[in-house]
Amino acid sequence: MKIKYLGRVDYSSTLDAMKAFSTHRSADTEDELWICEHPPTFTEGQASQATHLLRACDIPVVRTDRGGQITYHGPGQVVAYPLMNLKAAGYFVKEFVFRIEEAVLRSLRAWGVTGHRIVGAPGIYIRLDDPHGHSQLQVTAKNAPPNFNGLGKIAALGIKVSRHCSYHGLALNVNMDLAPFSYINPCGYAGLQTVDLSTIGVTIAWEEAATIIAARLQSALSP
């Protein structure tokens, strides 16, 4: 997988570029991993509802074809777009999502942070009262709604797969202005708190965080 560091780039033009790459790639096209950050932008997934944008502001809202609901992108967030041929890689969408989340969990461990998965709510979460502790989350009853009590979301995930080829990806919060998350129901969940690494006492440069998450993704997504 070829890693490309794009810097800070406009969201809409990057989305157009991802679509073009996925549409025109052939069976021999090398997979790529795009690492970037975006200017302030709200993005809505296919399931997003207008009511999840709680207040009007000057931050643009972009409707997309990825899965999921509304989220926020902004400076200080590492955004990673794995552009992969999943058929060639040899796994299906569910495992693809698992591997992306695993890369985030491994990255957080490198910084002494314990991340958690929640069934039915893609992304990675941390305990607000003990982000460095290793105790497991309490298992919820089968078919129960996700329980976010005491948790903060540190990484969001939304993907699109067309003709076995993936685009969109994940966003890891490093050192951001988190206020815009209060303008929305993050990922469609009212009251879900969003955090970044700086909030929980981890000081790391964007470039270093980007390099680590890229390496973990490259490893976790290998066929």
Residue 133: how many other CB atoms lie within 10 Å: 11
Distance of alpha carbon 37 from alpha carbon 98, whole angstroms: 23
Q: What sign has the CA pseudo-torsion 66, 68, 73, 78?
A: negative
219 DSSP assignment = H
Q: Which of 36, 57, 165, 187 is catalytic?
A: 187
**Residue 165 known to be catalytic:** no
Q: Which of helix, strand or coil describes residue 154?
A: strand
Residue linked to tokens 């041929």: 85
Q: List the one residue out of 140, 142, 134 whose CA is nearest residue 109.
A: 134
Active-site amino acid positions: 187
